[in-house]
Structure 1
Amino acid sequence: MSGAFSRLGDNPAQPVRLHRLDGLRGLAACGVAFLYHPQSLFAPAAMVALPQPFAWFRDWGWTMVDLFFLISGYIFAHVYLAAGALEKGHLREFAVARLARLYPLHLLTLCLCALLFAADPANTPLAFVANLAMLQGFYPPEAQAFNGPSWSISVECVCYLLFAMAAVGGLRRVRLVAGLAIAGALVHFILQGRAGGPWTSDDLSRGLLGFFLGQAMWLARGRLARIPVPVLAALMIGGLMIDMGQRSSLLPLCLIAWPAALLLALRSRFAGSAPMRWLGDRSYAIYLLHMPVLKLIEMNVGKVSGGPGTAALWTAGFAALVLVLADLSFRLVEVPARRAIRAVWAARRDRAVAAA
């Protein structure tokens, strides 16, 4: 869910940053962090009485992670395919950019969770090693150990690897890999998709479907840009409302609602406004920090009783705290760590060039 904030320093043809998708990513992070997960704080009565659209987030807010995957796929195509950077052999720079973007905050939150929640039986040494290796989305399958939301990072890493292997072969191979990934994910949901969720068995298919559908949308961006805004709005609303019965409702969300939301964001000035860009820059921190904060509140407060009004006040306070921490994390951890890793890599590369 992290997105492609980084661009290849060796590529002079740097693409324009899609600030409007940064803003959409920020909204998606807030949907998961502030409207879905905090319901565990409250007694069931407060959640049952929620009006729409809050009731939708109570039941389906977790699917905004699929919107993260879609945004990431679109941005990766925009950043790396337009100039053919990976086709020109910048694989190491790509790997370093991904490491610098994802790993520092993941490692920090992993260590914090290991210290704060050592008593959790799911937080085993083997699960810690899996998290260190960015395999937390695949082990342990029965529980999200340490920082639960980080499962999506390991799924994205699989998508990054497949994307890089495809991109070195040019657009034809990218289209082939994207088509196979989308088809494989669709087969999974058609044959094994279950109503409700989230289900751990869907995680990899969700990532592949969203990420490579984003690639396909970028490749077809010219034709998609001609779809009228009212049609996109109708598709988004319709996709959010479709009930698949005993089948997984992720399909209308991932194939209709979220693609329409992405295309609408690309045409929205508000999505690219300064406040939305601020939120987008901190979306990764919001996503990784909100769960440890939520767990700490639950450990010290327990279930909060009261109606929807009480839940709204508690949620607002929780959101404000996470936003403050996310801002500090972005400025004091993410940006400095990113620069330091890139500086080390640049120095190493320059020494290798000089030696050659």
Structure 2
Amino acid sequence: MEPRADIPGNASAVPRLARLDGLRGIAACVVAGYHLQIFYYNGLSDFFGGVAGWLFRWGWTFVDLFFLISGYIFAHVYRGGADLRTARQFGDFAVARVARLYPLHLTMLLIVAVLDWGRPENTLPIFLCHLFMLQGIVPGADSGFVGPSWSISVEILCYFLFALAAGSGKRAVTWVSVALAVLIVAKLALLGLPGGPWGADYLIGGVLGFFIGQLMWQHREILARVPTIVLVPALAIGATINVGSFSPLLPLDLLAWPSALLLVLRIKTFETRPLLWLGDRSYGIYLVHYPVLNLFFAALGKSHASWIGVIALYVTFSIVVLALANVALHLVERPGRRAVRAAWAKRHPSPPLGGSVAAYQAADSNP
């Protein structure tokens, strides 16, 4: 991957993985599309069939792809560039995470609280869980307010585990990654349920994907030599194999999504301007789409429209969500990041994150 032109020369060791940004944008759109059909239709997977049918049935698993991408990018930035050893480095790391995630999360939480406080699932205890980003860890808290935001708190747990391991050295990250992957795979193999999505798998599925991403980055040179002709059927098999009574997360997280990530790193199309535009707005798409769905559903109710009606609804929904995600990026996300980082830098004026990490984040691809 060639470094982006806007990354300074002293940061070229950690270029932006632009193609993964494109993949992240597509994944956000798939999750939004999956939730749309859950709200409005019954059996769209049977209605369309083929790839579209598969996406309508299994679109929820693209959240696991998010975690895999996140783990890979974190390893790329922090294991390939800066260390996490000193108190200042840990502080910079934590502030960068808050700056990246919290401004839009808080904004959407407050908006939904104002609009939908009266719903049975939107209570004060659940609100407090979301406020402190515990909604994916506290049982039952994931269903209220901005539902998909459960994954944010799982991401934060992954960041915490990663930072603890990285503080002990890069080798410790490897051992932690292997241990967590083995334990979670064993749990899914022995106790995992077929089908899904299951709330009980949210946490462990996210941790598994994140640390598989870590291991993939560490062995990236070996994986780069795997022929494309092997990766394509591996993706297809992992996505479509009938696992019977076992959890579908096993073939997806261990075979399909790793193969997809490796393939995307080889496809230049994923760093074209439209996909980079989408990738920059992926977080906004992910958080904005669910409140929009609630508004659409309140206005339209349940639908059993023809395929023309399905397409019309999807087009309208996509336009609204993309427009709002764009607004969120420019009015909330970027100003929020700058404000949080500026406040931290003012209070702690010593040199911030290492040049490679800072440049990566300045390129608007911070993990």
> More deviation in 41-50 or 68-77?
41-50
Give unmatched runs, 5+ long, in structure 1. Answer: 1-8
Structure 1: which amino acid aligns with 2:348? R
Indicate the residue corresponding to 1:75 in structure 2: 73
Write the distance in 2 (CA, Å) between the matches of 1:177 and 1:240. 27
Deviation sequence 1:214-254 (CA, Å, 0-9, x none): 00000000000001112111111111111111111111011
Does 1:267 find its partner at 2:266?
yes
Structure 2: which amino acid aligns with 1:81? R
Query: How far has the Cα of 1:304 moved from its partner?
Result: 2.1
Indicate the residue corresponding to 2:100 in structure 1: 101
Indicate the residue corresponding to 1:233 in structure 2: 232
Structure 1: which amino acid aligns with 2:268? R
- Structure 2 vs 1, CA of residues 173 and 57 (structure 1 numbering), >3 Å: closer, same or farther? same
Write the distance in 1 (CA, Å) between the matches of 2:138 and 2:155. 15
User: Normalised by the size of structure 2, how large is the TM-score?
Assistant: 0.90
Indicate the residue corresponding to 1:334 in structure 2: 333
Write the distance in 2 (CA, Å) between the matches of 1:280 and 1:52. 26
Query: How far has the Cα of 1:48 moved from its partner?
Result: 3.6
What is the correspondence of 1:246-261 to structure 2 with a 5 Å cutoff? 246-261=245-260
- Structure 2 vs 1, CA of residues 351 and 219 (structure 1 numbering), >3 Å: closer, same or farther? closer
Give unmatched runs, 5+ long, in structure 2. Answer: 1-7, 353-367
Does 1:308 find its partner at 2:307?
yes
Does 1:242 find its partner at 2:236?
no
Indicate the residue corresponding to 1:156 in structure 2: 155
> More deviation in 57-66 or 132-141?
132-141
Write the distance in 2 (CA, Å) between the matches of 1:97 and 1:345. 10
Write the distance in 1 (CA, Å) between the matches of 2:61 and 2:258. 13
Structure 1: which amino acid aligns with 2:73? I
Write the distance in 2 (CA, Å) between the matches of 1:344 and 1:312. 46
2:153 counterpart SS class = helix
Write the distance in 2 (CA, Å) between the matches of 1:317 and 1:30. 14
What is the correspondence of 1:1-356 to structure 2 with a 5 Å cutoff? 15-34=14-33, 36-44=34-42, 48-87=46-85, 90-141=89-140, 144-350=143-349
Indicate the residue corresponding to 2:357 in structure 1: none
In the alignment, is the contact (CA less than 8 A) between 2:142 and 2:148 conserved in 1?
Answer: no
Structure 2: which amino acid aligns with 1:85? D
Write the distance in 2 (CA, Å) between the matches of 1:188 and 1:115. 40
- Structure 2 vs 1, CA of residues 64 and 243 (structure 1 numbering), >3 Å: closer, same or farther? same
For these two proteins, the number of residue pairs brought into alignment is: 343
In the alignment, is the contact (CA less than 8 A) between 1:33 and 1:290 conserved in 2?
Answer: yes
1:290 counterpart SS class = helix
User: Normalised by the size of structure 1, how large is the TM-score?
Assistant: 0.92
In the alignment, is the contact (CA less than 8 A) between 1:70 and 1:212 conserved in 2?
Answer: yes
Structure 2: which amino acid aligns with 1:197? G
Write the distance in 2 (CA, Å) between the matches of 1:245 and 1:307. 32
> More deviation in 22-31 or 185-194?
185-194
Deviating 4+ runs (over 2 angstroms): 11-14, 40-48, 138-143
Write the distance in 2 (CA, Å) between the matches of 1:272 and 1:39. 29
Cα root mean square deviation, aligned: 1.9
